[in-house]
Amino acid sequence: MDIPRFISTHRKLLLVGFLVLILIFITTFPLYARASHIRLLTTILIYVVLAVSWALFSGTTGYMSLAPAAFFGLGIYTMALLQKELPFFLIIPIGGLVAFAFALLIGLVTLRLRGIYFAIFTFGLVIFMTEIIQYLETRLWGQHGQHITPIDNEPLLYTMLVLVVVTVLATYLIRRSRYGLALLSIGGNEEAAEHMGINTTRTKVFIFAISSFFMGATGVIAAPSLIYVNANIAFSTYYSFMPIFMAIFGGMGQIYGPIIGAVIFGYLEKTLRAQLFSYFMLGFGIIMVAVILFLPNGIVGLVPTLQDKIWGPVPALRKEKTWKATAAGILNILGGIVQVIGSIILFMGSGFLAQFARLEFISGFIGWLAGLYIAVAIVLIILGLTAILGGICALRRSSWRLGLAGSICALFSPAFILGIPAIILIILGKDEFEYVVEGGQTEQHANT
């Protein structure tokens, strides 16, 4: 069962193929999807850019910027103000440049100092912008809020797609370049980085400004779908929290981490907005804290750990493999598959229900039900995946603990009957795993 080896040798090819598929999927999306879905996809892409550009600076240097909302809002207002003067495509880079300029200013003042000042400043920047814009609107421009002429869904989607490609490409190139090395060094130990010849202030300011450029450009593209904005809408702290949350959840260390986070939570967020907004934010807040505590490297950070544990090298057997653990493994995998399928059904069901949630007279209850479906679906997916991974461990005899955990998870599925014998068999077959020294595996690299 050497899937992992196949994956790693043909890694680049598979990745390129995967990306091409995604691009094709998105480009042809409007052909078979409804308008609301197109808007959903565009929103997800917006979050992708925000999360990826946030992670570019904050994920590498460790300087936590709480300001994405400020730059995003700047982009929105740039569009609002210039929509009649200039063509849409020209406003996009201008919005980016406005954000860039602001970021340069803030960065030059605060990035010379310790990280906390930077965090505090970026935190307050959102309020700062809200008030300034409100002032300008009431005193100078004489109107509250701005109306933005809507643009069709398809062009917006494609424009956003282009921006996503540009952002991800730029991020990838930066991370791979010496700039990326400099950023990581600053995050690793800023004093040492400076002593090795890195002009830390210049690097920080520049990359911070670049990441803000993308946030501003995104704001311009997001504006037409909002139709009406005022300072509070454009500069809502929500647009700081969500990208950060998505990047943290997905994992800041890799490029695709924030993308994964953005896709997952962009979808969840849109699927159940108004009714249960506060409940969802409460839930997201809890997840955020949990992730920072237990998964500081995000989901993506789990991958190497899991890879090692599950597919890692398995030392030579002392005992022979019997049917016990193998059967347990198979049961785990089956139970896990059932759980995953069940959760997919629930997700679809909740989306279905959410359509009805718009009907006034039953909206409250239906909304709750849909929310419940989603919550259960999320739990089921986690259990299901654990069960499947546990099953693989059992088959390979690579980790008894994970195998047992998988069996326990399989217990909580609609097919719990599978879980009971799985647990029993795994416990009986424990000695087949025994040569693995749990956690005591000595240093991979001998010391001189």
Partner 1 sequence: MAERILSLIIVGILQGGVYGLLAMGLSLQYGVCRVINITHGEFIMLGAVLTYILHIGFDVNPLLAPVILGPLLFGLGFLLQATLFRTLKAWAPSPAVFEGNALLAAFGVLYIIEHFARITWGGKLMPSYYLADLVSFLGIDFVKNQFVTFAIALALGIAVYLFLSRSRMGRAIRATAEDPGTAGLMGVNTNMILAFSFGLGALLAGVGGALVSTKIAVSTGMGFSNTVLALIVVVLGGLGSIPGSFVAGILIGIVSMLVAGLWEPILTVPVYYAMLMILLLVRPTGILGKK
Partner 2 sequence: MSWKEAKQSSMRILEGQGVTKYFGGLAAVSHVDFHVDKGEIMGMIGPNGAGKTTLFNLISAALPLSSGEIRFKGQKLNGLKPHQICKMGVSRTFQETKVFANMPVLQNVLVGAFFGSPNRVLGADATREATQALEFVGLSAMSTTPVKDLTLANQKRVEVARALATKPEVLLLDELMAGLTPAEVSEAMELVRKIRDKGITVFMVEHVMKAIMGICGRIMVLHHGEKIADGTPQEIAANKTVIEIYLGEEIRAGS
403 contact partners, CB below 8 Å, separation of at least 6: 325, 328, 329, 332, 390, 391, 393, 394, 426, 433
E-strand ranges in 158-269 read: 228-229
Instruction: Taking each helix axis as running N to C, give the angle between helix 238-250 and helix 277-294, from 0 to 180 degrees, rounded to the nearest 10.
Output: 40
* Site membership for partner 1, residue 143 (CB under 8 A): no
Among 199, 232, 305, 441, binds partner 2 (CB under 8 A): 199
415-418 contacts, C-beta under 8 A, 24 or more apart: 415/334, 415/335, 415/338, 415/339, 416/335, 418/331, 418/332, 418/334, 418/335, 418/338
Residue number, 274 or 437, with CB nearest to partner 1: 274
Q: Which position among 194, 230, 288, 363 is part of the footprint of partner 2 (CB under 8 A)?
A: 194
Residues 161/26, Cβ–Cβ less than 8 Å: yes
The answer to the question of residue 442 lying near partner 2 (CB under 8 A) is: no
372 makes contact with partner 1 (CB under 8 A) = no
Stretch that binds partner 1, among 58-66, 162-170, 259-267, 409-417 (CB under 8 A): 58-66
445 binds partner 2 per the rule CB under 8 A: yes
Distance from the first to the final alpha carbon of the chain: 36
Q: Which of residues 235-264 bind partner 1 (CB under 8 A)?
A: 237, 241, 244-245, 248
Q: Which stretch binds partner 1 (CB under 8 A): 120-128, 353-361, 384-392, 403-411?
A: 120-128
**Alpha-carbon separation of residue 251 from 11, 268, 309, 372 (angstroms):** 20, 18, 19, 27
- Contacted by 98, from partner 2, partner 1, none: CB < 5 to 8 Å by type: none
Output the six-digit token pair for 51.
């999360």
In the complex, what is the shortest distance from the CB of residue 165 to partner 1, in angstroms, rounded to a whole number? 28
User: Closest separation between CB of residue 1 and partner 1, Å?
Assistant: 35
Picked from partner 2, partner 1, none, the partner binding residue 244 (CB below 5 to 8 A depending on kind) is partner 1
User: Residue 398: what residue type?
Assistant: S
The answer to whether 109 contacts partner 1 (rule: CB under 8 A) is yes
Torsion of CA 388, 391, 395, 398, to 10 degrees: 100
**Closer residue to partner 2, CB minimum distance, 2 or 443:** 443
Burial class (CB in 10 A: 0-12, 13-18, 19+), 82: middle
Q: Does 110 bind partner 1 (CB under 8 A)?
A: yes
198 binds partner 2 (CB under 8 A): yes
Q: Residues 339, 410: contact at Cβ < 8 Å? A: yes
Q: Name every residue whose Cβ is closer than 8 Å to that of residue 42 and which is 6 or more positions away in sequence.
A: 153, 156, 157, 160, 225
Segment 177 to 236, residues that bind partner 1, using CB under 8 A: 190
184 binds partner 2 (CB under 8 A): yes
Q: Which does 200 bind (CB under 5 to 8 A by kind): partner 1, partner 2, none?
A: partner 2
Nearer to partner 1, 116 or 362 (CB): 116
Q: Is 203 helix (H, G, I), strand (E, B) or coil?
A: helix
Residue 100 in contact with residue 156, Cβ under 8 Å?
no
- Tokens 């509250």 map to which residue? 144
Residue 78 Cα to chain centre, angstroms: 27
Q: With respect to partner 1, which residue has the nearer C-beta, 190 or 432?
A: 190
14 binds partner 1 (CB under 8 A): no
Nearer residue to partner 2 within complex by CB, 189 or 232: 189
Q: Is 66 in the site for partner 1 (CB under 8 A)?
A: yes
Given the rule CB under 8 A, which residues bind partner 1?
62-64, 66, 109-110, 112-113, 115-117, 119-121, 123-125, 127-128, 131-132, 134-135, 138-139, 190, 237, 241, 244-245, 248, 278-279, 281-282, 284-289, 292-293, 296
Contacts to partner 2 by CB under 8 A:
178, 181-182, 184-185, 188-189, 191-200, 443-445, 447-448
